[in-house]
Amino acid sequence: MSEKVSRRKFLKLGLSCGIGALVASYPFYVERHIFQVNTYRIPVPKLPPKFDGYTIAQLTDLHHGFLMPQTTIEKIIHKTNSLQNDLVVCTGDYILERNGTKQIDTVWPQLMKLNAKDGVFSVLGNHDHWGSTDRSIYWLERSGQNLRHKAVPIIKGEERIWIGGAGDYIEDELGIDNAFQHVPDSECKILLSHNPDSADTDYNTRIDLMISGHTHGGQVIIPFVGAPILPVKNKSYSSGFIRAEGTNLYISRGLGWAIIPVRFNCLPEISVLRLVRDETERLL
């Protein structure tokens, strides 16, 4: 009898340890590799009628390098192209390394394979500067995707919107006003800015939508608690659509990792933003 009991306890202990090991390994081995495509309905003030339903695919925080190999980057690029959205935007942190150019020189030829009907536009994040500012700007320019400190029009018939780009909040001049200095104030302006804290800085230009990344959504989301760590000053800037004080803001959870290679309750994502006219604006 005691032998059976001991054996039963041993099996229960082994099962418990197995389940514990599986749960403990899930954030590292499983969730970090599940790349979602999530579509969000994003209200945009001043959006011209012909752009109602316009789609923008966003890639951010790929962090190519350790545990984010070139083959994974290639799959992400292929998947993004297959979605056939109107526009593709990339909002920085393409690498993980510091003080080096190897990852920069590997990831950018892949980013140059992105395509969309109305083009591909990119800005840099803090990790790109930490790797090499000069080399990151070189590839940004060579790719034809450079939107840092400038804005371009997207035209449909007689209507248009403007897509502009900021420098990184931590390692560069934001230059938001400079980016839109030649854009009529009455027209719709969308800003790419890696760090969502940019929304709380001083600038004079009216921004109708800011598209950001940087936070990774916190990487780890504890139920009923939220993200214990968010690398931003404004802790309400985690992920998703937010009506910030100066602009509507969208923050993607991104695709890679930083600090520790885990994701829990915070799946990596390719974001697809479906722009719609802002109903609250019509009520004012």
Which tokens hold the place of 219?
Answer: 């990487």
CA 35 to CA 69: how far, in whole Å? 14
CA 184 to CA 200: how far, in whole Å? 22
CA 222 to CA 268: how far, in whole Å? 16
CA 125 to CA 95: how far, in whole Å? 9
Instruction: Name the nearest CA neighbour of 81 among 32, 120, 121.
Output: 120
The alpha carbon of 160 is separated from its chain's Cα centroid by a whole number of angstroms, namely 24
Per-residue buried b or exposed e for 191-229, using 16+ beta carbons within 10 Å of the residue's own CB: bbbbbbbbbbeebebbbbbbbbbbbbbbbbbeeeeebee
Instruction: Name the nearest CA neighbour of 136 among 167, 183, 101, 160.
Output: 101
Contacts of 223 (CB under 8 A, 6+ apart): 265
Q: What is the pLDDT of residue 245?
A: 85
Asked if 154 contacts 163 with a C-beta cutoff of 8 angstroms, the reply is yes
Q: What is the pLDDT of residue 122?
A: 98
Q: What is the mean pLDDT of residues 72-77?
A: 97
pLDDT in tens, 108-140: 999 999 999 999 999 999 999 999 999 999 999
pLDDT exceeds 90 at position 270: yes
Q: What is the mean pLDDT of residues 60-66?
A: 97
Q: What is the pLDDT of residue 188?
A: 98
CA 108 to CA 111: how far, in whole Å? 5
> Taking all residues of the chain, what is their mean pLDDT, rounded to a whole number?
90
CA 200 to CA 198: how far, in whole Å? 5
Instruction: Name the nearest CA neighbour of 191 among 171, 170, 169.
Output: 169
- Of 28-37, 175-184, 185-194, give the lowest mean pLDDT range: 28-37
CA 178 to CA 123: how far, in whole Å? 15
Contacts of 236 (CB under 8 A, 6+ apart): 242
Asked if 142 contacts 158 with a C-beta cutoff of 8 angstroms, the reply is no
CA 216 to CA 257: how far, in whole Å? 7
pLDDT exceeds 60 at position 31: no
Q: What is the pLDDT of residue 30?
A: 56
Percentage, residues of the chain above pLDDT 90: 84
- pLDDT bucket at 147, cuts 50 / 70 / 90: very high
Rounded to two decimals, the pTM is: 0.89
- pLDDT bucket at 38, cuts 50 / 70 / 90: very high
Q: What is the pLDDT of residue 34?
A: 85
Task: Specify burial of residue 19 (Cβ count, 10 A radius: 0-12, 13-18, 19+).
Answer: exposed
Q: What is the mean pLDDT of residues 223-250?
A: 94
Q: What is the pLDDT of residue 32?
A: 53
